[in-house]
Structure 1
């Protein structure tokens, strides 16, 4: 089966990751790339200023960049992947859905909308049921599906694995790579020999999105998980890979060995880009580390380690590649889930 896809916002850092991940994909064929009006009409090679660590695919390099507009897209696209800035996505993505397109989006707009699936295939694939509600309420034939923030997606699969012990309260402190801010997001003078103890809006995203991902969808209606989540988000001078320190207060009192088993026992998604084991747990207390472990499972596996029993629960670290698992790869997985579910 071949699925023709378009990439919205294809020239940015996450857009380039999309191109890298979709090159030679078994199902998806890139048929159109879009960017801002100033890039429209240029070749992708000239517009993208390629910065990914593999060569630019030659067939994509010669594509002409289109404007991000329903009228500028081919009619025969089956699926759109979006890495648009959220302000642009908030305007354009609903127009595309009204035009009948299915959009798998990494953009932050509408992630918390009650009728928009916010999905991690290993955690809550059943939330795709919200698409029926979305179509009824919004009166469109297309569909909008979101993946969570890159810091949220690092932590939430581990919480899903621990939910069997009863999640009560979660405290998390993140050490987030500079690529999460985009190519021009943090200057070298800001981050070298430094840590930035605030990332605007990031803490609220982690706290809200994780509760939605862990919640339930019943009869087309969403209910959030009742776990309390408190986050402190920090930018550190690593290039890729978000490392997070999690303190989980649980209703039960599992041992570190039981938590280890639960984390590695999270069910895998039977999708082309999904890792065979979603979470790998290290016994070495010095792992995971961004430079050593961010590319496990081709950048799609989450790593955990430092498991320690505390008076209130469990402490551990988790790590994921933020622009692969946490961004473009997450949207690709959701696209594969949409195909599996017959929505695409």
Structure 2
């Protein structure tokens, strides 16, 4: 078993990491790290567990430690730290020889840091060797994208064969994406909030790196643009988005559907990988968060309402679980790919 630590273990995404790693066949939770006010206390006392399953017995009495490489007994750490803290702390762990799989945004767009979706760009892991050489450290940092970016880009990957020219996306994002205390109930009840700070910028920039080409020394961004509009809605878990793009080859709706259905991740040997990364719904009113977010144990992205349109347009709706596929589960799948490729 590989010794695993979780940074920011008491927060919303940190708790997802605990839930998903508690019975993992490859990783054993050996350290839970959080702020100084939680350090030194049992995890079960300070976590204020909010998930739908019980707090795993295996970690209930584990003493929380500070987010310090000298205090965390682990070969790999999963970071659920806020971005403003992650920049320095994650670098400190990498310098100390630890592999960091991060959900934070701090390092995503750095040229020598892999921004990963294993089904989309596994070849970008080669940036790790460049990163180690550039920075002179024995560990490394590997990041996963923003939660909405993950759902969108997973559906875009099989459409690259049609020659993507530009993409428009409108998101309907769940409140869990803002954390347990992120949005007051008086703000979101009976309401839609048409703004999520920095979300649109992340979707527009991260997608180009993810779908870009690794040339041996770095990643050349994909040759199209993304325009995003992001909204917070009164849904607990599950981000939904409407996507319409223009392509060069003008495929029919059936050809687009067939591309989704034939998409094969090639990752069936990884424990967290779902049997189907993309699931196509035939019903006219699906996917829906409440009914589809747990598909593939929360790791599948569901797609529906596939249509073609004027001027080579492709239109569809996709949806995925934002704290599993869009956060903790994404980092864990990255770590499994690292092990498969010999980086762990």
Q: Structure 1-normalised TM-score?
A: 0.98
Q: For residues 134-173 of structure 1, give each alpha carbon's deviation from its aligned partner in whole angstroms, at most 9, with x where no partner exists.
A: 0111111100000000010010011111000001000000
Q: Which residue of 2 aligns with 1:239?
A: 236
Q: Hey, what's the Cα distance between the residues in 2 that align with 1:23 and 1:260? A: 36
Q: For residues 56-78 of structure 1, give each alpha carbon's deviation from its aligned partner in whole angstroms, at most 9, with x where no partner exists.
A: 0111011000000112122xx22
Q: For residues 48-105 of structure 1, give each alpha carbon's deviation from its aligned partner in whole angstroms, at most 9, with x where no partner exists.
A: 000010000111011000000112122xx22111100011100100111011100000
1:230 aligns with 2:237: no
Instruction: Report deviation, 1:220.
Output: 2.6
Of 127, 132, 135 in structure 1, the residue corresponding to residue 129 of structure 2 is 132
Q: Hey, what's the Cα distance between the residues in 2 that align with 1:56 and 1:44? A: 10
Does the 8 Å CA contact 1:122/1:266 hold for their aligned counterparts?
no
Q: Which residue of 2 aligns with 1:328?
A: 328
Q: Which residue of 1 aligns with 2:40?
A: 41
Any unmatched runs of 5+ in structure 1? none
Instruction: Report deviation, 1:249.
Output: 0.6
Of 101, 107, 110 in structure 2, the residue corresponding to residue 110 of structure 1 is 107
Of 164, 176, 184 in structure 1, the residue corresponding to residue 181 of structure 2 is 184
Q: Which residue of 1 aligns with 2:341?
A: 341
Q: Which residue of 2 aligns with 1:248?
A: 245
Tell me which stretches of 4 or more aligned residues in structure 1 moved more than 3 Å: none
Does the 8 Å CA contact 1:132/1:220 hold for their aligned counterparts?
no
Q: Which residue of 1 aligns with 2:49?
A: 50
Does the 8 Å CA contact 1:171/1:247 hold for their aligned counterparts?
yes
Q: Hey, what's the Cα distance between the residues in 2 that align with 1:23 and 1:64? A: 16
Q: For residues 18-37 of structure 1, give each alpha carbon's deviation from its aligned partner in whole angstroms, at most 9, with x where no partner exists.
A: 11111211111101000001
Q: Which residue of 1 aligns with 2:20?
A: 21
RMSD of aligned alpha carbons: 0.7
Instruction: Give 3-state SS (helix, strand or coil) of 1:193's partner.
Output: coil
Instruction: Give 3-state SS (helix, strand or coil) of 1:70's partner.
Output: coil
Instruction: Give 3-state SS (helix, strand or coil) of 2:24's partner.
Output: coil
Give the total of aligned pairs: 341
Matches for 1:1-344 after TM superposition, within 5 Å: 2-74=1-73, 77-268=74-265, 269-270=267-268, 271-312=270-311, 313-344=313-344
Instruction: Report deviation, 1:222.
Output: 1.2
Q: Hey, what's the Cα distance between the residues in 2 that align with 1:238 and 1:88? A: 28
Q: Hey, what's the Cα distance between the residues in 2 that align with 1:245 and 1:78? A: 40
Q: Hey, what's the Cα distance between the residues in 2 that align with 1:171 and 1:265? A: 24
Moved more, 304-313 or 202-211: 304-313
Q: Hey, what's the Cα distance between the residues in 1 that align with 2:16 and 2:72? A: 21
Does the 8 Å CA contact 2:8/2:81 hold for their aligned counterparts?
yes
Instruction: Report deviation, 1:227.
Output: 1.4
Any unmatched runs of 5+ in structure 2? none
Instruction: Give 3-state SS (helix, strand or coil) of 1:55's partner.
Output: coil
Q: Hey, what's the Cα distance between the residues in 1 that align with 2:177 and 2:149? A: 12
Does the 8 Å CA contact 2:245/2:314 hold for their aligned counterparts?
yes
Instruction: Give 3-state SS (helix, strand or coil) of 1:30's partner.
Output: strand
Q: Hey, what's the Cα distance between the residues in 1 that align with 2:282 and 2:84? A: 43
Instruction: Give 3-state SS (helix, strand or coil) of 1:174's partner.
Output: strand
Moved more, 267-276 or 201-210: 267-276
Q: Structure 2-normalised TM-score?
A: 0.98
Q: For residues 271-303 of structure 1, give each alpha carbon's deviation from its aligned partner in whole angstroms, at most 9, with x where no partner exists.
A: 110111110011111000000000001100000
